[in-house]
């Protein structure tokens, strides 16, 4: 009987010791980032117990790290561990941090953690666009340039990016602009290239903050950027809506959910960039009147305005033609002549009283985008 009691007491003590050991297990109180996060530069971890001795110079990582981006771990103090990446992570990156097998606190307590910690920088997103959101007006056949935070697959762009237009019920697919046309567009749009270059290779006073795309590291930043522009997996996308957009309408370019990076990470949410298309190419005659029914005041200017610029060559062919007498040529300022285009014309005054006039336009009047003229009202007047 005494032997049985001893065995019971031993078992009871063993169970207490086991529970005491489990109760004393250390744990990870905080791990950041997690889930999907953009612009990651650092991982921060806090343990519930001291993990290293104060002043210990060793840099022993508590995790087995699987991540394509280079970095280095360090102990900020006895409980807090930091992992610094060499550069801001681009989109399309997944990192996993698994607690090392047998990891224990400084006092010997095991780390109570059975899972790996992971995060992703998500799928490709738009950093810069040309035209930029809020631009005054865009062409109904506008070509868009997009600077991404990671290269995206062409197939996923064509499947998930689209245009929306006021008055059009269905989504409008996009087409990618490639080859010589793409290159010539990018060469011409130097303002966009500068903005995107600055966003990608933004630098602080003391250290680099470059977003990386796995490009060759040799050469100047400008040379790297040119490799980005011309590379097979370039993060610069040139595209166009597959149909002509309606004039004078609210439109959006939607970078849809599901667009996938070259590394296989898909975007989890959509981006939308809003614009307005310009009106039809129209011309309108106006003059000062005493009232709506009266004729034009002959000593005040008569104006012809266009909804978009016309060439000086075309403008010089326009005439204000009276019922009798010589036709009147419009006035064109020296500044307009230098620019090569004009949007508003005036005819010299005074003009003869009680005379009817007509506006005579060239047969092939086009605007700066090559659109054909469409009149909107009576192009006649009288003084």
| Own/partner pairs, 334-341, CB within 8 angstroms, 24+ separation | 336/312, 337/312, 340/311, 340/312, 341/309, 341/310, 341/311, 341/312, 341/368
Q: Do domains 2-120 and 283-382 have the same CATH topology?
A: yes
Neighbours of 81 (CB within 10 A): 24
The 10s digit of each residue's pLDDT in 164-204 is 999 999 999 999 999 899 988 988 888 888 888 777 766 43
30: left (phi over 0), alpha (psi -120 to 50) or beta: beta
What is the Cβ-side half-sphere exposure of residue 26, based on CA atoms within 13 angstroms?
Answer: 21
Domain boundaries defined on the chain = 2-120, 126-276, 283-382
Contact 28, 99 (CB under 8 A): yes
Tokens linked to 309: 């610029």
- Identify any residues that bridge with 316 across adjacent strands, giving them in sequence order: none
- Would you state the pLDDT for residue 153? 94
- Give SS3 for 182: helix
- Would you state the pLDDT for residue 280? 86
| Low pLDDT (below 70) residues in the chain | 1-24, 57-58, 114, 201-218, 221-222, 224-225, 374-383
Neighbours of 300 (CB within 10 A): 14
Q: Which segments of 219-376 does DSSP mark as H helices, in order?
A: 221-230, 312-315, 334-339
Report in angstroms the alpha-carbon separations of 96 from 32, 93, 314, 377. 12, 10, 65, 67
Domain 2-120 classification at class level: mainly beta
- Identify any residues that bridge with 98 across adjacent strands, giving them in sequence order: 64, 116
Contact 337, 312 (CB under 8 A): yes
What distance in Å separates the CA atoms of residue 259 and residue 176, rounded to the nearest whole number?
14
- Angle formed at CA 182 by CA 210 and CA 163, multiple of 5 degrees: 90
What distance in Å separates the CA atoms of residue 170 and residue 242, rounded to the nearest whole number?
12
* Cβ neighbours of residue 253 closer than 8 Å, sequence gap 6 or more: 129, 144, 161, 163, 174, 241, 272, 273, 275
- Would you state the pLDDT for residue 21? 45
Contact 301, 190 (CB under 8 A): no
- Would you state the pLDDT for residue 24? 66
- Would you state the pLDDT for residue 208? 43
Q: 126-276 has which fold?
A: Immunoglobulin-like (2.60.40)
The 10s digit of each residue's pLDDT in 237-276 is 999 999 999 998 999 999 999 999 988 999 999 999 999 9
Residue 22: Cβ-neighbour burial (10 angstroms; 0-12, 13-18, 19+): exposed
Whether domain 283-382 has CATH 3.30.160: the reply is no
What distance in Å separates the CA atoms of residue 284 and residue 379, rounded to the nearest whole number?
7
What is the Cβ-side half-sphere exposure of residue 185, based on CA atoms within 13 angstroms?
Answer: 19
- Would you state the pLDDT for residue 33? 95
């Amino acid at each position: 009987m005494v032997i049985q009691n001893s065995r019971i007491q031993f078992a009871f003590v063993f169970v207490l010791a086991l529970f005491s050991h489990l109760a004393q297990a250390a744990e990870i109180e905080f791990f950041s980032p997690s889930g999907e996060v953009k612009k990651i530069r650092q991982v921060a971890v806090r343990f519930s117990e001291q993990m290293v001795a104060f002043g210990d110079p060793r840099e022993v990582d508590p995790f087995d790290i699987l991540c394509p981006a280079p970095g280095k771990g360090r102990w900020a103090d006895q409980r807090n561990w930091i992992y610094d990446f060499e550069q801001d992570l681009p989109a399309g990156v997944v990192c996993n941090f698994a607690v090392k097998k047998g990891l224990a606190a400084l006092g010997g307590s095991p780390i109570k953690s059975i899972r790996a910690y992971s995060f992703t920088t998500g799928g490709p997103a738009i950093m810069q666009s040309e035209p930029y959101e809020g631009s005054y007006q865009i062409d109904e056949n506008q070509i868009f340039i997009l600077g991404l935070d990671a290269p995206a697959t062409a197939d996923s762009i064509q499947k998930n990016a689209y245009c929306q237009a006021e008055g059009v019920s269905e989504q409008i697919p996009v087409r990618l602009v490639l080859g010589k046309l793409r290159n010539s567009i990018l060469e011409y749009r130097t303002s966009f290239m500068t903005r995107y270059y600055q966003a990608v290779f933004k630098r602080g006073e003391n250290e680099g903050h470059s977003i990386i795309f796995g490009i060759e590291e040799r050469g100047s930043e400008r040379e790297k950027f040119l490799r980005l522009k011309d590379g097979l997996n370039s993060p610069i996308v040139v595209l166009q809506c597959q149909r002509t957009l309606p004039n004078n309408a609210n439109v959006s370019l939607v970078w849809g959910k599901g667009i996938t990076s070259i590394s296989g990470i898909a975007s989890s949410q959509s981006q939308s960039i809003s614009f307005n298309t310009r009106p039809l190419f129209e011309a309108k005659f106006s003059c000062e009147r005493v009232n709506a029914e009266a004729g034009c005041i002959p000593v005040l200017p008569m104006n012809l305005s266009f909804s978009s610029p016309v060439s000086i060559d075309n403008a010089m062919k326009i005439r204000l033609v009276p019922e009798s007498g010589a036709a009147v040529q419009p006035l064109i300022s020296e500044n307009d002549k230098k620019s090569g285009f004009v949007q508003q014309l005036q005819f010299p005054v005074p003009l003869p009283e009680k005379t009817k006039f007509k506006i005579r336009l060239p047969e092939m009047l086009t605007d700066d985008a090559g659109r054909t003229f469409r009149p909107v009202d009576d192009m006649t007047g009288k003084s």
